[in-house]
Amino acid sequence: MKAWLLAARPKTLPAAIVPVWVGSMPLLVDGNPETGSWMLFWFTLVSCICIQIATNLFNDAIDHKKGADTEKRLGPRRVTASGLLSQKAVMGGALFFCLLAAGISIPLILERGWPIVAIGLVSLFFAYGYTGGPFPLAYRGMGELFVILFFGFVAVLGSFFVQSGLVGDIQIWTLGLQCGLYSSVLIAINNLRDIEEDRGTGKMTLAVRFVKTFARWEIAVFCLLPILLGVGLSLAGYFHLGNGLLFLLLLIIGVPIVLGVSRTEPSEKYNKFLAMGALQLLGFAALVSFLFS
């Protein structure tokens, strides 16, 4: 059981939880009992967590098969590469969580119809296609773009659609972009930490393609741009200006991340910055709940 818990990578789950939270809270905490459904929220949340776990399991097994997880790894232990679980077992576990995610989404399909089927099929396909298939995104330097699209726009807008039946206005789309950028902080730090290992195994992340300076600037943009977008929403009248300026509080976490990765060479110390990135993402979720309550 401990090996499966390690393979599921629980520290990555905020990237699945926060987009659902952000997309749902505008209709769940607005004080109107006629809007939103907590039941649909929980089905959406658990389904997305299952997809995230499936993605992690596919990643664990496929990276081992491709030789991307080596003894030089600076991040958490991988169960397939370390021999804790067989590749066949991990792939089977990934398929199980894909099926579980599909089953849990049935109430969402009954409520909102074919758009949920489309979102689900695409999400399940890329759970595997992120590291597997003929064009693995993580190996082509498209990991950050994938995260912005799926952990930002698709997950946030999809969750809002589940709650409302609507695609959302510019406010919801901006929240999706903010969420995607904050989620991308995690993968960008991970890729910068693993730059030497990835270069040696042919995993062409953006950090490998454009070297450390680019990766550090990328992390800075991902940490700071969401704050500018939040202030912009306030200036545009979507939030009371005083409340909107609360986005500046996220600088308390974002600035130390940016300074930390700029002053520290890639090493195990980056695992601390990853934890801070997850905290930043959770802080954003808490702020969204406050702004809409």
Tens-digit pLDDT profile for residues 72-115: 666 677 888 888 889 999 999 999 999 999 999 999 999 999 99
Predicted confidence at residue 3, as pLDDT, reads 86
Measured between alpha carbons, how far is residue 173 from residues 49, 114, 206, 233, 260 in Å?
Answer: 22, 21, 25, 11, 30
Q: Of 14-28, 64-78, 260-274, where does mean pLDDT reach its minimum?
A: 64-78
From 151-165, 191-205, 254-268, the region with the lowest mean pLDDT: 191-205
On the question of pLDDT at 170 being above 60, the answer is yes
Kindly list the distances between the CA atom of residue 188 and the CA atoms of 9, 24, 221, 262, 277, in Å, as whole numbers in the listed order.
Answer: 17, 26, 11, 13, 10
Banded pLDDT at 265 (limits 50, 70, 90): very high
pLDDT over threshold 70, residue 163: yes
CA distance 116 to 162: 8
Structure confidence at residue 179 (pLDDT): 97
DSSP state of 167: -
Residue 243, pLDDT > 90, answer: no
- Give residue 131's pLDDT: 87
pLDDT tens, position by position, 7-52: 888 888 999 999 999 999 999 998 888 889 999 999 999 999 999 9
pLDDT at position 92 is 95
Residues 52-66: what's their mean pLDDT?
A: 90
At 195-219, the pLDDT tens digits run 998 898 888 999 999 999 999 999 9
Burial class (CB in 10 A: 0-12, 13-18, 19+), 189: buried
Share of the chain above pLDDT 90, in %: 71
Confidence check: pLDDT of 67 > 80: no
Contact present, 44 and 159 (Cβ < 8 Å): yes
Within the chain, where are the H helices?
Answer: 2-8, 14-28, 38-65, 87-104, 106-112, 114-129, 143-147, 155-164, 170-193, 195-201, 206-235, 241-244, 251-263, 270-292
Q: Alpha-carbon distance 267 to 269, whole Å?
A: 5
Mean residue pLDDT across the chain: 92
Q: Report helix, strand or coil for 182.
A: helix
The owner of tokens 């450390």 is 212
Please give the torsion angle defined by the CA atoms of residues 152, 56, 194 and 126, in that order, rounded to the nearest 10 degrees.
-50
Residue-level pLDDT at 34: 81
Q: What is the DSSP string of 141-166?
A: T-HHHHHIIIIIIIHHHHHHHHHHSS
Q: Tell me, what's the pLDDT at 71?
A: 57
Q: How much is the pLDDT for 136?
A: 87
Apex CA 280: angle with CA 52 and CA 243, to 5°?
120
Q: Rounded distance, CA 238 to CA 249, Å? A: 18
What is the average per-residue pLDDT within 148-162? 96
pLDDT at 287: 95
Average pLDDT over residues 239-254: 89
Q: Are 124 and 130 in contact (CB under 8 A)?
A: no
Q: How many CA atoms lie within 13 A of 136 on its CB side?
A: 17
Could you give the C-alpha distances from 223 to 13, 53, 87, 235, 248, in angstroms and in order?
A: 19, 25, 35, 20, 11
